[in-house]
Amino acid sequence: MDGPSNVLLLFIALLSFRSTLEETDSNEVTTLRLLQSQWKGLTWTGVDPCGSKWVGVTCKGSHVADLLLSTMGLQGGLPSEIDQLTGLQRLDLSYNQGLNGPIPSSLGNLKSLRELVLSGCNFNGRIPAELGNLQHLTILDVSSNKLGGEIPPELGNLLNIYLFDIANNQLTGTLPPQLKNLVTAGHLVLDQNRLTGQIPSTVGLLKKLTVLRLDSNELDGPLPNISNLKNLGDMHVSNNKLTGSIPDLSGLTNLQYLDLSNNSFDVSNFPDWFSSLELVTTIMMEHVNLTGPFPSNALNLPQLEAMKLAKNSINGIPSTDIQVSPTLQLLDLEDNELADNKIVEAFVEKLPPNVTVKLMGNPACAEGSSLSNDVPSPCNPAQNIPPYVTPMKDCGKDIKCKKHMQVDPRICKCAMPFEGMFVFRAPSFHNLDNASRFRSLEESLLQNLNLTDGSIYILCCMSFDTDNYLNINVRIFPPPGTNYFHRSEIVKLGYILSIQTPNPLGSYYFLPRWDHDFFEVSEGSKGLSTGAVIGIAAAGAAVALLILALVFYAFKQKKIIAKAKKTSRSFGASLGLASGEYSGDALKLKGARWFSLEELKQATNKFSSENEIGSGGYGKVYKGMLAVGAQMVAIKRAGQESRQGGAEFKTEIELLSRVHHKNLVGLIGFCLEEGERILVYEYMPNGSVRDNLSARTGIQLDWRKRIWIALGSARGLTYLHDHANPPIIHRDVKSSNILLDEHLNAKVADFGISKLLAAIDTEAGGHITSQIKGTMGYLDPEYFMTQQLSQKSDVYSYGVVLLEILTARQPIERGKHLVREVKTEIERGGVNALRRHELLDPVLRDSPVSPTVFESFVCLALRCTEDAATDRPKMSDVVKELESIVESMGPNNQYDDTDMDAGRGVKTMGIAHPLVGGSSSDTFDYSGGYMMLPPIVEPK
């Protein structure tokens, strides 16, 4: 019996040993191995996912329950076979910007799934309708991807959903009526898409909503009455095309943040129902056609912190009986019609000294008024107070850390922190120097992330972006005694931050910045049994055999891979390989390619002086001939003093590469190698407008050509202001930045470089100088008081260019200002007297142009150069007027600009309708027939 008994015991022991090594369902092991093979950056080791505690994997029984891989630097597509993880309850792949391709419809087969978080990746295609099958889903977050198409009506079947976030994509179509079924939803977040149609009144059925975000779409029609949403705390419908009257929202008794800005509501007085919103902290109603007086009790809401009512027609203000909430910090009444400076001054004096009041752009702030004399004042704001940063212990300058490590101020030793940026969607405050507010953020993060005191540092420099979102950069250090986070700890941090952990500053999303490899530490290596060791050894032997089998193949592929890397290198990899400054971020370029330094040396004869065609604040510009395709290009090589860090260069390239319009100089590519920062643009053979007006090119610009150059450049600027995402303020519009191609088509240049140089100077000296932001003679009058530029500053500079086109003179010539000279002459003899004056370019004096056309052009230039920004037109209005001028010139003066050749004959044709034909959203020819309402803020 001993023999059989021993055999039986051995058999049982072997079964137990096998179960120890293989806890996970075999099909799911195969699926996870498939994911590992397809996702670059995923390092899983061990025999069994559940038994070996693979990073990001948790199990229930033999099935994978959670796959949490946020911020892991993963690259590749999401395989449809993921539906083989039949017990999956939580899937978080957020902020892996290397993940791309479509979201597989097979996710709809994961019947147990409760949380699906795919935000901050680069997934494209449509949202699968099959996701509507996930009856247990409570969190759906696919925000900040490149998803298009319409919202699937099937998503209305998510009857247990709480967080529904599909924001910041490219979704189109109307809001499906089936969304009314999401009765459990607390967050309905659909902002920053291209949604059209009306907001259905059935939104009012979602009574558990606490956050409603429909802003930055193209929704129209009236805003439905949703006063029965008693739990709603945040409501954002700004930057749409809503019309009709502003409904009574007094029933929203828990409302804290309201933003109705930039819509086309009916003209109305300030609503009296605001007095019932006792919990509201922020009211944003900019550009909503408010008129009449500002009520005396509007500021008495007990929790009110900020009220922004700019760009309306408010024309009265109380000077007595003003009631002000003790929590008020900001009142913005810019660009209204407040005219009585004495009453306005009395109103301001009644406000507590801690309240920031903004009144710029009102008649009461006109030059010479008592309000305009003082600095600082509501009409002349003071320089910004530096925002809060976490105080850090001074560890001296002697500590030198390795690459990717920073000095931990707690212990004055090197450590590898986890860094990222919080983007708060609706902060209720304006001042960024309030230490107690941001200390509460630090304390909240320490508690929610279970970190030790002093681990979290708010860095310089927090700011509001173009969407009025607050961006805060943070650095999180590992616990004392360790100098890096384990992978599992990073996954935990990423997951907690991706699911909207409650925060004292409101709703947010988090953008991790992890640009290097994780240190990998085995967390399950202690206490391994002999059997486990044997199993691991056996698995190691198998892996070794597999490696030997692959050696020959890898060796054979080495040259192919090297060649591929050289000719088609991703932007993030280029940054990491070339400079060590930045890596791991996904490429977000449209059409821009990477050039090797050797290619550009060959194209420019090693950057010889013979190829140099210009220079500026960014560096030198060279003409070059690319070997491939024999294409002539312009190559801008940054000077040593202008070579900013990889992250800033990456941001600049992404900005330039996604801006496409026929009247903007196109970016072809870039080079980031051996410390170089080089931009490659399309070549403009006919130089700049300034070159041609100065007769340097030998081309004579007649009246017709000048009108079309003016129109082309106006269209380019309008695209930057109204259709770029984010909107772009050029900040250095001048005749030398408007270039002409072989057909004399105008193309605006350097709209990114001025921003880039400003960023460099800010880093170097803590301020932005007038030398970088704009050029003397082109700067609008407000700049010298505020040191700030806006879209209307671009309009002023463009108006100076129009006067250059008329006169061929420099903006400042022999100490005389062109704008002042032209205005003085017109005041003396009228507009048409200018046709015979010496100021006018002699080439145009005998030009056959009608007095009406000439007067219209001159008056447009004068309106663009008005002293007050509010009196200047928008660039979109400038385009309309120039198009009218061209039409009034008759068919003999209208032509196809592809035949606008230097000094030769031209064909004639009418002006094509701007939105008819094969134009895409990236390349259409702008016209006033299409209108958007972007915020007048510089892109971050």
pLDDT for 698 beyond 60: yes
Q: What would the CATH number be for the domain defined by 687-908?
A: 1.10.510.10
What percentage of residues in the chain have a pLDDT greater than 70? 74
Residue 509 has a pLDDT of 65
Positive or negative, the CA dihedral 309, 312, 317, 321 is negative
What is the C-alpha end-to-end distance of the chain, expressed in Å? Answer: 82
Q: Whole-angstrom Cα distance, residue 870 to residue 866?
A: 9
Band the pLDDT of 408: cuts 50, 70, 90.
Answer: confident
Residue 629 has a pLDDT of 65
Residue 196 has a pLDDT of 96
* pLDDT, the chain, mean: 77
Which tens digit of pLDDT belongs to each residue from 535-580?
Answer: 444 455 454 455 454 544 444 444 433 443 443 444 444 444 343 3
Burial class (CB in 10 A: 0-12, 13-18, 19+), 450: exposed
Task: Name which of 251, 178, 165 is nearest 214 in CA terms.
Answer: 165
pLDDT for 456 beyond 90: no
Q: What is the pTM assigned to this prediction?
A: 0.52
Residue 113 has a pLDDT of 96
pLDDT for 850 beyond 90: no
CA 592 to chain centre: 18
- Among 125-129, 518-522, 617-621, 758-762, which range has the highest average pLDDT? 125-129
- Under DSSP, is residue 406 helix (H, G, I), strand (E, B) or coil? strand
- Among 75-79, 517-521, 699-703, which range has the highest average pLDDT? 75-79
Q: Residue 150: enclosing H or E segment and its boundaries?
A: strand 146-150
Give the residue ranges of the annotated binding site.
Answer: 636
Token pair recorded at residue 535: 């199993």
Q: Whole-angstrom Cα distance, residue 484 to residue 389?
A: 23
Domain 568-683 class, CATH top level: alpha beta
pLDDT for 792 beyond 70: yes
Angle at 686 between CA 778 and CA 741, to 5 degrees: 90
- Average pLDDT for 829-837: 77
E strand intervals along 591-666: 593-594, 612-615, 619-625, 632-638
Residue 21 has a pLDDT of 44
Q: Whole-angstrom Cα distance, residue 777 to residue 352?
A: 40
- Average pLDDT for 515-519: 46
Is residue 334 within 8 Å of residue 360, measured between CB atoms?
yes
Domain limits, the chain:
406-513, 568-683, 687-908
Give me the DSSP letters along 62-75: TEEEEEE-TTS--E
Task: Name which of 413, 405, 412, 485 is nearest 449 in CA terms.
Answer: 485
Residue 826 half-sphere exposure toward CB, CA atoms < 13 A: 16
- Average pLDDT for 484-512: 67
Angle at 780 between CA 776 and CA 782, to 5 degrees: 120
Between 442 and 901, the higher pLDDT residue: 442
Q: Whole-angstrom Cα distance, residue 580 to residue 583?
A: 8
Positive or negative, the CA dihedral 475, 656, 508, 154 is negative
| Least-confidence region, from 74-83, 799-808, 841-850 | 841-850
pLDDT for 385 beyond 90: no
- Average pLDDT for 200-227: 93
Q: Whole-angstrom Cα distance, residue 485 to residue 415?
A: 9
Long-range contacts of 24-28 (CB under 8 A, 24+ apart): 24/48, 24/49, 24/50, 24/51, 24/59, 24/62, 24/63, 24/64, 25/62, 25/63, 27/84, 28/62, 28/63, 28/64, 28/84, 28/85, 28/86, 28/87
Residue 655 has a pLDDT of 75
Which tens digit of pLDDT belongs to each residue from 741-750?
Answer: 888 999 998 8
- Average pLDDT for 587-604: 79
Residue 768 has a pLDDT of 32
Q: Whole-angstrom Cα distance, residue 561 to residue 294?
A: 68
Q: What would the CATH number be for the domain defined by 406-513?
A: 3.30.70
E strand intervals along 812-928: 812-813, 816-817
Give the residue ranges of the annotated binding site for ATP.
Answer: 636
Is residue 390 within 8 Å of residue 458, measured between CB atoms?
yes
pLDDT for 38 beyond 60: yes
Does the active-site annotation cover 467?
Answer: no
Between 60 and 845, the higher pLDDT residue: 60
Is residue 527 within 8 Å of residue 442, measured between CB atoms?
no
Residue 646 has a pLDDT of 61
Which of 732, 761, 780, 925 is labelled catalytic?
732
Are 568-683 and 687-908 the same fold in CATH? no
